[in-house]
Amino acid sequence: MGKAIAIDGPSASGKSSVSKGVAAALGFIYVDSGALYRGVTWQAIRKGVDTKNAAAVVESMHNAEWDFFVQEGAAVFSVDGDVPVQELREKDVREAVADVAAVPEVRRFVVENLQSLENFGSLVMEGRDIGTVVFPDSPYKFYLDADPEERAMRRYRELVAAGEDEKAHEVMDSLKKRDQIDATRKADPLKVAPGAQVIDSTSMGLDEVIQSVIDVVKGAL
Ligand code: CDP
Ligand code: CDP
């Protein structure tokens, strides 16, 4: 069985960038668990399912055909034969995903599939509940954090760079709303896992954060 490095934290705390950097340095498979919650959301939206209707979302999720594989060092999934990537970042998905991810049956489905990825090898998995629920026994758990203003600014810069016409205060509002839903939902809320190392990256560069994770993991190996 492979190892699993768990990287949790709120939106724009640096989970994706840090996890990809750590996975590349250690030769582990990178897994974006949020992509699967976004995938469940996306397949519902494209079938015209109301994402506020939990039962309908769950039904369309179970009726879809899911497949998992590894491509260029990252775990990827297909749903009904399509591999959504850019689609998962679109606004309609972004706005509905926290509601979909709050449905217990959606979480059960996603968590089981994430756990089974260990069959592919050692993983670096980023998310909200990786250290608390998906791999609670992993000795390698990290909780990344940064001040909300800094996180909103990071997201804003990304959206502007991608040519999206967003306003800074709207990004801030949407980030705070999502933080709130993620931290207060009944099913697996975002919290620091027991034994997790907390890294506040408000004034840290990306490379610095990546190196400090690698140092901890190498020290423990
Ligand atoms: O990139 P960002 O942090 O904005 O979001 P993401 O990682 O793509 O996750 C999208 C949404 O999925 C989050 O806002 C959570 O509601 C949910 N999620 C979750 O509940 N548990 C996870 N392990 C990962 C994501
Ligand atoms: O995955 P998550 O939503 O937690 O964050 P991310 O997508 O990895 O990072 C959001 C943005 O912040 C990216 O553009 C990173 O390059 C940037 N970032 C940063 O400037 N400094 C850090 N220490 C971490 C991330």
**Listing from the earlier edge strand, what are the strands of the sheet with 197-200?**
66-71, 74-79, 29-32, 123-127, 4-8, 140-145, 197-200
Give the pLDDT score at 1.
66
Go through the domains of the chain in sequence order and give each one's CATH number: 4-201 (3.40.50.300)
For residue 36, with 0-12 CB atoms within 10 Å meaning exposed, 13-18 middle and 19 or more buried, which class applies? buried
Q: Closest Cα to atom 1, ligand 1: which residue?
A: 11
pLDDT in tens, 49-82: 999 999 999 999 999 999 999 999 999 999 999 9
Whether the CB of 13 sits within 6 Å of ligand 2: yes
Given a contact cutoff of 8 angstroms between Cβ atoms, the answer to whether 4 and 220 are in contact is: no
Output the ligand 1 site: residues, CB below 6 A: 11, 33-34, 37-38, 97-98, 101, 127-130, 178, 182
Q: Which ligand is nearest to the CA of 107?
A: 1
Judge whether residue 221 has pLDDT over 70: no
pLDDT in tens, 43-57: 999 999 999 999 999
Reduced 3-state DSSP string for 87-145: HHHCHHHHHHHHHHCCCHHHHHHHHHHHHHHHHHCCEEEEECCHHHHHCCCCCEEEEEE
Q: What is the pTM of this model?
A: 0.93
